[in-house]
């Protein structure tokens, strides 16, 4: 057989073997993060970063490839603080969106609108992309906090450059300076959400970037993918699930009933971490335990532990990152509708790093599809059909 025929045969075999949802299929290369042997960002174990780094350091690592020096970190923080301004027209847009619009939808719209005010919006070279990424990193928390407070008739809380990324974020959301404990807990959750290889929203952003489109378009697309309940939107469903169980003693029956009704429980199972525990869930579970100081919080932890045990006993499913995060954010006093936007704010660093990586050595992402429709057939004239 000639080379052309061999290539067609190889393509046919590959298409027949393509798993549903592209599970486990290698779709490209990245130097940003890997799920092999746990979770590593640029070679650093997630656990080490959560214990010893700030989210700002991790964002710098993802975007630039190395952890910052003291001087580089100070410069980066100064640039982020300067970037934490949103054009008045975008704030006005946030105010005029209908009240029933979910915060994640408002965020998607606002990020797209920001492009119109960025002088480098349509530039796709490395320097321009990095500048836009850093600006977005500083602006997204402002957008989320502004929409949150505007819908409640509250005055906007200004950005405080003296606070950490997480501390400033909490301060803008609540209007109060957070405790060191709450600030660190949010910081650690943001680190856990910062990147996860070729997940659905990241791959979406890379596909957009591969067309030569701009960074704002790619990030907007990423937010759209994150909204779905099978990806980022699951963390809101987790809290509803937990609050529907009154005590730990009811967990076993709750899980058995859900299984009997073929109901999928949010917060359990992961496409990659199937035979091992999501390392982010392990780290954040310990943080939740430390945060739980009231009777209500400790009761919620007991319920969560009991549901975890029942899910493992009956379905051999372990929790994913959304399972502890929902409790953590509730303990920080945050509304459930903010859970997915918080995820997005953290993931801006990862999405942007992938857009930069994609466009540095770009090739248009154009997968094939396995056709399962009718075979070739003759077109009959209208009068004969």
**Active-site positions?**
270, 322
> Could you tell me the strand order of the sheet in which 40-41 lies?
33-34, 40-41, 44-45
| CA-closest candidate to residue 226, choices 107, 344, 345, 351 | 344
CA dist 76 to 53, 58, 79, 269, 355, Å? 15, 12, 5, 37, 20
DSSP for 83-136 reads H----HHHHHHHHHS-TTS-HHHHHHHHHHHHGGG-TTTT--SHHHHHHHHHHH
- What DSSP letter does each residue of 130-193 carry, written as one string? HHHHHHHHHHHHHHHHHHHHHTTTPPPPPP-TTS-HHHHHHHHHHSSPPPHHHHHHHHHHHHHH
CA distance 356 to 136: 14
Closest CA to 367 of 64, 11, 79: 11
3-state secondary structure of 237: helix
- 252, with CB counted inside 10 A (0-12, 13-18, 19+), is middle
Residue 209 CA to residue 359 CA, distance in Å, equals 7
Strands, DSSP E only, in the chain?
33-34, 40-41, 44-45
* Long-range contact set of residues 118-127: C-beta below 8 Å, sequence gap at least 24: 118/216, 121/214, 121/216, 122/214, 123/214, 124/212, 124/213, 124/214, 124/215, 124/359, 126/356, 126/359, 126/360
CA dihedral 199, 204, 206, 211 (to 10 degrees): 160
Rounded CA gap, 136 and 325, in Å?
23
């Amino acid at each position: 057989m000639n080379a052309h025929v061999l290539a067609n045969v190889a393509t046919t075999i590959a298409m027949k073997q393509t798993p549903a949802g592209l599970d486990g299929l290698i779709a490209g290369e990245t130097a940003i993060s890997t799920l092999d042997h746990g979770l590593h960002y640029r070679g650093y174990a997630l656990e080490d970063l959560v214990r010893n780094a700030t989210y700002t350091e991790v964002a710098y690592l993802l975007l630039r490839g190395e952890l910052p020096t003291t001087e580089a970190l100070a410069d980066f923080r100064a640039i982020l603080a300067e970037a934490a301004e949103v054009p008045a027209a975008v704030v006005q847009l946030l105010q005029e969106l209908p009240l029933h619009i979910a915060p994640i939808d408002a965020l998607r719209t606002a990020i797209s609108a920001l492009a119109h005010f960025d002088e480098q919006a349509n530039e796709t070279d490395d320097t321009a992309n990095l500048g836009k990424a850093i600006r977005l990193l500083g602006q997204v928390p402002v957008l989320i906090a502004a929409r949150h407070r505007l819908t409640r008739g509250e005055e906007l809380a200004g950005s405080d450059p003296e606070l950490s990324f997480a501390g400033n974020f909490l301060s803008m959301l609540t209007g109060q300076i957070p405790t060191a404990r709450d600030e660190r807990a949010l910081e650690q959750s943001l680190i856990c959400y910062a990147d996860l290889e070729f997940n659905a929203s990241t791959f979406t952003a890379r596909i957009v970037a591969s067309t030569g489109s701009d960074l704002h378009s790619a990030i907007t697309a990423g937010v759209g993918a994150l909204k779905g309940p099978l990806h980022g939107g699951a963390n809101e469903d987790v809290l509803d699930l937990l609050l529907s169980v009154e005590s730990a003693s009811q967990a076993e029956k709750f899980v058995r009933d859900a299984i009997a009704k073929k109901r999928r429980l949010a917060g359990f199972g992961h496409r990659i971490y199937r035979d091992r525990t999501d390392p982010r869930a392990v780290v954040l579970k310990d943080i939740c335990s430390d945060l739980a100081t009231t009777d209500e919080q400790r009761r919620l932890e007991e319920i969560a532990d009991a549901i975890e045990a029942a899910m493992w006993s009956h379905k051999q499913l372990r929790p994913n990152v959304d399972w502890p995060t929902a409790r953590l954010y509730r303990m920080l006093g945050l509304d459930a509708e903010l859970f997915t936007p918080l995820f997005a704010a953290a993931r801006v660093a990862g999405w942007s790093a992938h857009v930069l990586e994609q466009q540095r050595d770009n090739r248009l992402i154009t997968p094939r599809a396995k056709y399962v429709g009718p075979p070739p057939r003759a077109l009959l004239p209208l009068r004969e059909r």
